[in-house]
Amino acid sequence: MVQRAANQDERAELLKDAQCVLVGGAKIDGPLLDRLPNLELIIRYGVGLDSLDIPEATKHGVVVAHYPDFCQPEVANHALMLLLAVARKLIPHDRAIRSGEYRSVPLPYSPPLTNETLGIVAFGNIGQQMAKRAKALDMEILAYDPYIDDATIAAAGARRAASFEQLLAEADHISVHAPLTPETHGMFGIEQFRAMKPGAIFVNTARGPIVKLDDLVQALRDREIAGAGLDVFEVEPMGPNHPIYEFDNVALTPHSAFYSEYSNRHIKERIGQTIVDFMNGKWPTTATLPNRDEVTPKRALS
């Protein structure tokens, strides 16, 4: 039987006897951990760790594992799909044909993408995968990531943006692949959209709160940018009457970029193996803490 916790009190009751917890987007913080005395292992079945308080877990002797290499090709494929869908007007063309209005959608503005510059915000594994796909379209790559070295950016055939502001000004289109951190929360607001080119398409397959959605709506209304492709949102799901729905130059998907038959099956296999190894006294190979001495687990691990 599946039970959904409406709040942290209900979550604590449901998890009170758990030794291992699998987490999607649920918040696991210090007050909750105080109420889970048997908990030994948290597995984030995905990449992002923004819902987990790692220092508190460490203080409670709870090991946290995740899979930073999960679904990288899938997310990059999805981001490229959103970019192409907006650029080629897939949504309005499809709607028009289904309503019996063949060729009723004006063809301009449809950017070529080829020979244009794609700005990639965060050039980690998924950002590099996105660069590879964009280069197949003969796009130029401008990468902004203060934590990635020059050699990695150059090896991917990209050019480093000296600043976030440079990326906003020079990129013809922008794709976001950053984790959600205090540094990236609200990173894109009305000032950033106004700094972008008016023909730019903005794609976000990272985390919703990186983008101030109301500001994006305003930018689209004011034609500060040409369109957007979004897989993630500040609040998920959104209400039925959200103003983002009014735009034909916006492509929306329901936080599904991670999914393929392979990625879904593979992550389940890896989670199962992580649990078996942990219960048999083995340190998880995907633990979030690189230094094992930083945490004292509740069971002996080798």
Name the region of 9 (left: φ>0; alpha: ψ -120 to 50; beta: rest): alpha
187 Cβ contact list (under 8 Å, min separation 6): 121, 176, 178, 210, 211
Residues assigned a catalytic role: 207, 236, 255
Split at pLDDT 50, 70, 90, the class of 47 is confident
**Cβ distance 237 to 254 under 8 Å?**
yes
For residue 65, how many C-alpha atoms fall within 13 Å in the half-sphere facing its CB?
Answer: 22
8-69+260-294 maps to CATH 3.40.50.720: yes
**Cβ distance 62 to 39 under 8 Å?**
yes
Residue 292 pLDDT > 80, yes or no? no
CATH class belonging to 75-252: alpha beta
Q: What is the token pair recorded at 113?
A: 């993408």
Round to whole Å and give the CA distance between 113 and 97. 24
Measured at the alpha carbon of residue 122, what is the angle toward residues 289 and 270, in degrees to the nearest 5? 45
Which is more confident, 26 or 242?
Answer: 242
Classify residue 70 by its DSSP letter: T
190 backbone dihedrals φ, ψ, rounded to 5°: -60, -35
Which is more confident, 24 or 94?
Answer: 94
Round to whole Å and give the CA distance between 278 and 300. 10
Split at pLDDT 50, 70, 90, the class of 1 is low
Classify residue 46 by its DSSP letter: S
Percent of all residues in the chain with a pLDDT value above 90, rounded to a whole number: 84
Round to whole Å and give the CA distance between 73 and 23. 22
The predicted structure's pLDDT at residue 144: 98
What b/e sequence results for 170-186 when a residue is b if at least 16 CB atoms lie within 10 Å of its CB, and e otherwise?
Answer: ebbbbbbbbbbeeebee
Which is more confident, 131 or 47?
Answer: 131
Average pLDDT, the chain: 94
Split at pLDDT 50, 70, 90, the class of 289 is low
**CATH topology match: 8-69+260-294 vs 75-252:** yes
What is the mean predicted confidence (pLDDT) over 144-166? 98
**Cβ distance 120 to 177 under 8 Å?**
yes
220-271 residue pLDDT tens? 999 999 999 999 999 999 999 999 999 999 999 999 999 999 999 999 999 9
Map tokens 């597995």 to a residue. 43
What is the pTM for the complete model shown? Answer: 0.92
The predicted structure's pLDDT at residue 16: 93
Strand-by-strand arrangement of the 63-65 sheet = 20-23, 41-44, 63-65
| Domain locations in the chain as residue ranges | 8-69+260-294, 75-252
**Cβ distance 204 to 230 under 8 Å?**
yes
What is the mean predicted confidence (pLDDT) over 177-181? 95
Round to whole Å and give the CA distance between 283 and 295. 11
- Candidates 82, 83, 160, 71; CA nearest to 123 is 160
Round to whole Å and give the CA distance between 28 and 18. 13
Round to whole Å and give the CA distance between 178 and 216. 18
CA pseudo-torsion sign 89, 173, 255, 246: negative
What is the mean predicted confidence (pLDDT) over 160-181? 97
